[in-house]
Amino acid sequence: MTLLLAYAGISKEEAEKRMHFTKLTHNQKIEAMWSQMMKQHNQPIKDDKLAEINSGRYDKDDEAQKLLFLFLWIPLFQASVDIWADYYNYYRKMFVKLTTLPAGCTPDFVCPTLESFGTTDQLVRIPRQHINRLSQQFYLDKEEMFLHTPIEFHKVASSIMAQLGFHLSCIDFGNVWIVFHRMLPYVQEQYVPHTDSSDA
């Protein structure tokens, strides 16, 4: 909001209302897209996790197991969502009145020719030096920002993964639980969960 006020030439009230949406190739209501994603992508993954819990092979309340799950699954899940989004955006979509937004043309045509429609891309041009200054001021540990687990756990899990010859890019939904159970004994042996001294 601060950047909008400084560089977009709009009022505080307008800045508070501004939101940025990424382009969807299909001219479709976002609720319909999320519903499809839940059915086609997310539900099988949830079912797989539930089966592992019900079989007693995964304890969601055990901290080491929970952190190892996040360490392996979040990068895998993100990569899978990226692939799903590409497939979803490029298949031929059947027109469905209930889920399609009214429009005279496709986003693929509108986005590159915004001037023809009397509008702009609404992007805020922020000077590079301002971005660099904010980055140095607030985001000194950039690498840690993108970790899904505490730094201590990440170091232990990364080391174990390397020792066992695994790499995140080679893990998929077919072998992720195999990797999980191969790594788990080493994680439980080497990782000491942080305990709050106030609990003692």
**Per-residue pLDDT reduced to its tens digit, 31-54:** 676 677 777 777 888 888 999 999
pLDDT at 137 over 70: yes
Phi first, then psi: what are they for 45, rounded to 5°? -70, -40
pLDDT of residue 98: 52
Amino acid at 12: K
pLDDT of residue 144: 67
Q: How far apart are CA 162 and CA 21, in angstroms?
A: 38
What is the pTM for the complete model shown?
Answer: 0.61
pLDDT of residue 200: 40
Give the tens place of pLDDT for each residue, 49-89: 999 999 999 998 999 999 999 999 988 888 887 777 777 66
pLDDT at 199 over 60: no
35 or 95: which carries more pLDDT confidence? 35
Nearest to 190 by CA among 136, 135, 153: 153
Can you read off the two tokens belonging to residue 16? Answer: 């508070």
pLDDT at 27 over 60: no
pLDDT of residue 92: 60
pLDDT at 99 over 50: no
State the DSSP string of the chain.
-HHHHHHS---HHHHHH----PPPSS-B-HHHHHHHHIIIIIHHHHHHHHHHHHTTS--TT-HHHHHHHHHHHHHHHHHHHHHHHHHHHHSPPPP-TTTBPP-SS-HHHHGGGGGGGT---------HHHHHHHHHHH-S-HHHHT-SS-HHHHHHHHHHHHHTT--GGG--TTTHHHHHHHHHHHHHHH------GGG-
State percent of the chain over pLDDT 90. Answer: 28
94-103, 117-126, 129-138, 189-198: lowest mean pLDDT where?
Answer: 94-103
Q: Are 12 and 2 contacting, i.e. CB atoms less than 8 angstroms apart?
A: no
